[in-house]
């Protein structure tokens, strides 16, 4: 939005804000601003595509002058930490994700089907002119300060080891530096309502939030897929978890009301609209895990071993996901028992996802639900990443008449299940699950009905 000399607000969209601004200033912009120059840029937002930018432009144009002024002052977020908008220059919202199907296949070139969810990291920040970073987490009430130099050794400015939560923003800054993106320091505060260690990508949401902030500050020319790849690199190389691309991809590229079908062998993806009368319900077992435990990396190593052995007989394959079930049947005896089980899960899970996306497109929710059930059994028996509490939640859900299917979601070893339930019956489902789970375990679970939302967004930026 540009403020014209007569105090009118001009609204438009552009792919190059600097160019547009200089055009307006030199009287070569829209007729309106030509007549009313000089103009001042007072507010901008970043949109994912030209299409969403056009849509947003129309919505902004329909607003009254006062409403536009309120937006530039951050008042649209009234009630949501409103005073932050007078203190901070940037506000970023980055969602968690739930995976509907395709578990432990993203580091095997397989297809996945996650969705970004309406639980997110909220990040406020101010740019600094040096290379120092001051970051607060509101939820833990902790704060760290580090420099570009100190973060290289995972230390703060007093050479103290960084706390775990600070590794994620530090990792992203480190990765950006490794990739030679222009960086400047910042002070930031963030909070999150993505439960930590629950398999809903709380850490990827933080990484993607900080990466989007840095992209905005540094005006990097980088799309959301590249942003996700940079965050995955950060997590693999700095945090030390050899995760695949699924989580960062979903947090960055989410699409409202849609699941995202991503082929991790070539990064092609498309959104698949979710049926309206189905609720996606997440049930938290309250058993916590940390991804960095060796179990995740161990699973990955088994897959690499399986690929190496199978490649001898199926030479043209690059990923385990390319092995056909009949080929696996022919050569599985060559693999040690545990490795064989891991590989079988991966190969069959890839098959399930390819089938599931067809079911979803044809709104065959029963068929989809059946594949979720099979996916869970495979994670329990072959990949061995489930726990009794997760098995119980899945069993309870599957016994509920209006639940189409349920499975653990994310890496496993604790965390959440995801269930597809007839929307009208969702409250009944929640009540039933809470009651039955606590009856057997004494644990009160948290249960959310979640909506699929857009990926990361710089929601607001104040122009000084």
Binding status of residue 411 toward ligand GLA by CB under 6 A: yes
Q: Which tokens in the block code for residue 21?
A: 């601004």
Taking residues 58 to 97 in sequence order and writing x for each that binds ligand GLA by CB under 6 A, - otherwise, the string is ----------------------------------------
- When the beta carbons of 4 and 411 are compared against ligand GLA, the nearer one is 411
Which tokens hold the place of 352? 């399930």
Q: How far is the C-alpha of 372 from the C-alpha of 369, rounded, in Å?
A: 5
Q: Does residue number 396 form part of the binding site for ligand GLA (CB under 6 A)?
A: no
Burial of 298 (0-12, 13-18, 19+ CB in 10 A): exposed
Residue 375 in contact with ligand GLA, rule: CB under 6 A: no
Q: How far is the CB of 326 from ligand GLA (least distance, A)?
A: 25
Could you say whether residue 244 binds ligand GLA (CB under 6 A)? yes
Give the separation between CA 452 and CA 363, rounded to whole angstroms. 17
From candidates 227, 243, 250, 372, binder to ligand GLA by CB under 6 A:
243
The terminus-to-terminus CA distance of the chain in angstroms comes to 14
Contact with ligand GLA (CB under 6 A) among 111, 254, 410, 414: 410
Return the residue of 106, 156, 187, 332 that touches ligand GLA, per CB under 6 A: 106
Among 20, 24, 104, 342, binds ligand GLA (CB under 6 A): 104
Given 207, 247, 284, 454, the residue binding ligand GLA (CB under 6 A): 247
Binding of residue 414 to ligand GLA (CB under 6 A): no
Burial 98-137 (b: 16+ CB within 10 A, else e): bbbbbbbbbbbbbbbbbbbbbbbbbbbbbbeeebbbbbbb
420: helix, coil or strand? strand
Looking at 247, 263, 284, 454, which residue is catalytic?
Answer: 247
Alpha-carbon distance 323 to 424, whole Å?
41
In contact, 365 and 278? CB cutoff 8 Å: yes
Enumerate residues 6+ apart whose C-beta is below 8 A from 198. Answer: 284, 288, 410, 414, 415, 416
Contact 431, 396 (CB under 8 A): no
Determine the size of the site formed for ligand GLA (CB under 6 A): 10
One DSSP character per residue, 315-347 reads: TT-SSGGGS-HHHHHHHGGGS-HHHHHHHHHHH
Catalytic annotation present for 391: no
Among 2, 123, 188, 246, binds ligand GLA (CB under 6 A): 246
Question: Please, what is the minimum distance in Å from the beta carbon of residue 243 to ligand GLA?
Answer: 3
Judged by CB under 6 A, which stretch of 16-24, 68-76, 238-246, 437-445 contacts ligand GLA? 238-246
Length of the chain, in residues: 464
Smaller CB separation from ligand GLA, 107 or 328: 107
Please identify, using beta-carbon distances, which residue of 222 and 250 lies nearer to ligand GLA.
250
> Does residue 282 sit in helix, strand or coil?
strand
Minimum gap (Å) between residue 97 Cβ and ligand GLA: 8
Give the shortest CB-106-to-ligand GLA separation in angstroms. 5
Nearer to ligand GLA, 105 or 447 (CB): 105
Residues labelled catalytic: 247
Q: Kindly list the residues in this chain that would bind ligand GLA in the complex (CB under 6 A).
A: 103-104, 106-107, 243-244, 246-247, 410-411
């Amino acid at each position: 939005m540009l403020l014209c000399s007569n105090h009118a607000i001009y609204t438009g969209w552009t792919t190059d804000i600097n160019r547009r601004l200089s055009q307006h200033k030199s009287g070569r912009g829209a007729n309106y601003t030509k007549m009313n120059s000089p103009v001042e840029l007072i507010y901008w937002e970043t949109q994912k595509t030209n299409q969403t930018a056009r849509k947003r432009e129309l919505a902004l144009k329909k607003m009254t002058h006062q409403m536009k002024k309120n937006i530039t002052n951050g008042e649209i977020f009234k009630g949501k930490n409103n005073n932050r908008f007078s203190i901070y220059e940037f506000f970023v919202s980055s969602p968690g994700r739930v995976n509907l199907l395709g578990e432990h296949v993203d580091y095997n070139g397989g297809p996945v089907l996650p969705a970004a969810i309406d639980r997110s990291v909220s990040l406020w920040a101010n740019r600094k002119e040096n290379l120092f970073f001051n970051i607060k987490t509101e939820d833990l009430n902790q704060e760290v300060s580090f420099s570009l130099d100190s973060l290289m050794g995972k230390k703060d400015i007093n050479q103290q080891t960084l706390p775990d939560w600070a590794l994620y923003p530090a990792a992203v800054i480190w990765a950006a530096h490794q990739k030679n993106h222009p960086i400047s320091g910042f002070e930031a505060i963030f909070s999150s309502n993505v439960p930590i260690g629950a398999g809903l990508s709380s850490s990827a949401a933080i990484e993607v939030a900080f990466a989007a902030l840095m992209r905005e500050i540094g005006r990097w020319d980088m799309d959301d897929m590249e942003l996700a790849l940079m965050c995955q690199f950060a997590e693999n190389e700095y945090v030390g978890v050899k995760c695949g691309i699924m989580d960062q991809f979903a947090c960055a590229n989410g699409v409202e009301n849609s699941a995202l079908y991503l082929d991790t062998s070539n990064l092609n993806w498309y959104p698949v609209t979710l049926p309206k009368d189905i609720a996606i319900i997440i049930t938290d077992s309250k058993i916590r895990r940390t991804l960095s435990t060796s179990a995740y990396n161990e699973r990955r190593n088994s897959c690499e071993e399986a690929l190496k052995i199978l490649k001898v007989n199926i030479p043209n394959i690059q990923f385990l996901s390319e092995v056909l079930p009949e080929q696996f049947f022919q050569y599985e005896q060559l693999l040690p028992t545990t490795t064989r089980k891991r590989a079988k899960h991966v190969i069959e899970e890839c098959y399930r996802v390819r089938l599931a996306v067809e079911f979803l497109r044809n709104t065959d929710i029963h068929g989809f639900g059946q594949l979720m059930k099979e996916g869970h059994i495979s994670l329990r028996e072959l990949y061995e990443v489930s726990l009794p509490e997760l098995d119980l939640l899945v069993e309870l859900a599957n016994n509920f008449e209006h639940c189409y299917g349920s499975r653990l979601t994310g890496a496993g070893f604790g965390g959440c299940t995801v269930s597809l339930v007839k929307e009208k019956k969702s409250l009944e489902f929640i009540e039933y699950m809470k009651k039955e789970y606590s009856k057997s375990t004494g644990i009160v679970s948290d249960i959310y009905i979640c909506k699929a939302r857009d990926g990361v967004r710089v929601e607001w930026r104040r122009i000084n």
